[in-house]
Structure 1
Amino acid sequence: MTKPGKQSGRQYTEAEVRAILERALREAQTPDVSHDELVAAAAEIGISRGAIEAASRDIEHVRGEEEARATLLARRRKGFRTHLFSYLLVNAFLFAVNALTDGPWWFFWPLLGCGLGLAFHALGALSSDVSPRQIRREIERSAAQARKEQHRRLMEQRRAESLERKQRLEQSAEDFGHAVEEGVATVLSRIAQEIRGSAPPPPPAPVEDAPRRRRVAPLDAEEAEFEELGEEEADRAARRGRGGR
């Protein structure tokens, strides 16, 4: 059994607890903690879940304000850089035109005029002052953009699900059509087999009569020739007998 430490009965103030926890977390290099893990750890030292929820909402609000502030400052500086690049490019072109043409020097007038506008822009862009109203507008803008992005992803997911469901229906319809065709073919084949099985057998082919007919036919032709030759000989003999008389 472990003995209690020398400091087990010591009490700490709120500031000391905060400092101890921050130092312990910093030295331990604890990775990111989930919300449930944070609630469980707070419950061990007597902090209620409601207090953790309220504190987490405040932290998220502060984090949102910091992100909105950083986004505003970055957008300002980006706009100033774009303005500066345009200022240098345009005035360099005007200087080249003024130098290549005859006449007095006039390019410094647009240089001074545009430079005055650039100076006012630099005062606003390089300043870190951001009003609460601007931060609130940026938070609302970010929230609207996040909702729009979420809606776009939801629509893409629904379209993908609809396309997948349509493809499944088409595949099912095609498979059903093939099954119906195979079933119809099978039924027709069985019907044809039953019809062939119930039909009377065909009569046997006359194997012996055919050769006889083929043999008789040549005989009839020869007899006819012989008869014709006999008739011709008889006519010739009759003519010779009439001539002799």
Structure 2
Amino acid sequence: MAKPGKQSGRQYTEAEVRAILERALREAQTRDVGHGELVAAAEEIGISRATIEAASRDIEQIRGEDEARAAIVARRRKGFRSHLFSFVLVNAFLFAINALTPGPWWFFWPLLGWGLGLAFHARAALSSDVSPRQIRREAERSAEQARREERRRLKEQRTVERLERKQRLERSAEDLGHAVEEGVATVLSRLAQEIRGSVPPAPVEDAARRQRIASLDADDAEPEALDEEEAERAGRRGRSRR
């Protein structure tokens, strides 16, 4: 077993560094590495940040070209599958017509002509060769599509933000209206309490005194009514005797 000091003093060539890093990456747990982590790991082994930035740009360009090439090949093969399906369907229909109608066999003429075009299409669709011009156009197309998607996402985000802002304003206005109603009700209640407090209620003794006076007046009025009634009766008897 090598000693730590001797192990730390070892030197490696460029090929050995690449081999060690590739082996370590293969044996390490598979996960995505962020750009900051990549730059920090490179600086640990003496690679400058500018070199890492340039290499990462090259890798991103190569990745973009690979994605563009794969998209072009996939679109070609998808078009060929659609062409093949139409070829089989239409020529089967022509064969059925030719078989069910009297006359010579003629369906193989469109079959041969269309089959020749299908063969050329298959040759182009099944090939993985893509020109740099096609890759550049596909990259521009992907970039334009990404920009449209980003604009659409931003538009949807702004729409959602406007709706949320509108809902917040409506809730604030509703809360303000409730607060104003509660405040007005509180003020009116307080004014009513102050008005009721400014008029003192009649004491219990005054009310009892007024009740006794009213009863006495009623008692005095009753004998007077009886005297008047007796006098009226006496007057009627005197008039009847005359």
Unmatched tracts of structure 2, length 5 or more:
none
Pairwise CA distance, 1:15: 3.0
* CA 192–9 in structure 1, closer or farther in 2 if over 3 Å, else same: closer
Q: Distance in 2 between matches of 1:91 and 1:163?
A: 56
User: What is aligned with 1:46?
Assistant: 46
Q: Distance in 2 between matches of 1:219 and 1:124?
A: 137
User: What is aligned with 2:159?
Assistant: 159
Superposition pairs of residues 5-154 of structure 1, within 5 angstroms: 5=7, 8-12=9-13, 14-29=14-29, 31-154=31-154
May I ask how many residue pairs the two structures share in their alignment? Answer: 236
Unmatched tracts of structure 1, length 5 or more:
239-245
Pairwise CA distance, 1:111: 1.7
Taking only aligned residues, the RMSD between alpha carbons, in angstroms, comes to 3.3
Q: Distance in 1 between matches of 2:28 and 2:12?
A: 23
Instruction: Report Cα offsets for 1:15-47 as digits up to 9, x if no partner.
Output: 333233222322334533221122112112211
Residue 182 of structure 2 is aligned to residue 182 of structure 1: yes
* CA 219–119 in structure 1, closer or farther in 2 if over 3 Å, else same: farther
Q: Distance in 1 between matches of 2:233 and 2:136?
A: 134
Residue 13 of structure 2 is aligned to residue 4 of structure 1: no
Structure 1 counterpart of 2:4, which letter? Answer: T
Pairwise CA distance, 1:113: 2.4
Pairwise CA distance, 1:179: 0.8
User: Which stretch has the larger CA shift, 78-87 or 36-45?
Assistant: 36-45
State the TM-score, normalized to the length of structure 1.
0.80
Superposition pairs of residues 150-229 of structure 1, within 5 angstroms: 150-199=150-199, 201=201, 207=211
SS of alignment partner, residue 129 of structure 2: coil
Instruction: Report Cα offsets for 1:125-148 as digits up to 9, x if no partner.
Output: 011110001001111111111111
Structure 2 counterpart of 1:28, which letter? Answer: A
Q: Distance in 2 between matches of 1:232 and 1:90?
A: 138
State the TM-score, normalized to the length of structure 2.
0.80
Instruction: Report Cα offsets for 1:65-103 as digits up to 9, x if no partner.
Output: 011101110111011001111111111112222222233
Q: Distance in 2 between matches of 1:175 and 1:108?
A: 81
* CA 233–79 in structure 1, closer or farther in 2 if over 3 Å, else same: farther
Structure 2 counterpart of 1:19, which letter? Answer: A
How much identity, in percent, do the aligned residues show?
69
SS of alignment partner, residue 127 of structure 1: coil
Q: Distance in 2 between matches of 1:209 and 1:93?
A: 122
* CA 52–224 in structure 1, closer or farther in 2 if over 3 Å, else same: same
Structure 1 counterpart of 2:112, which letter? Answer: L
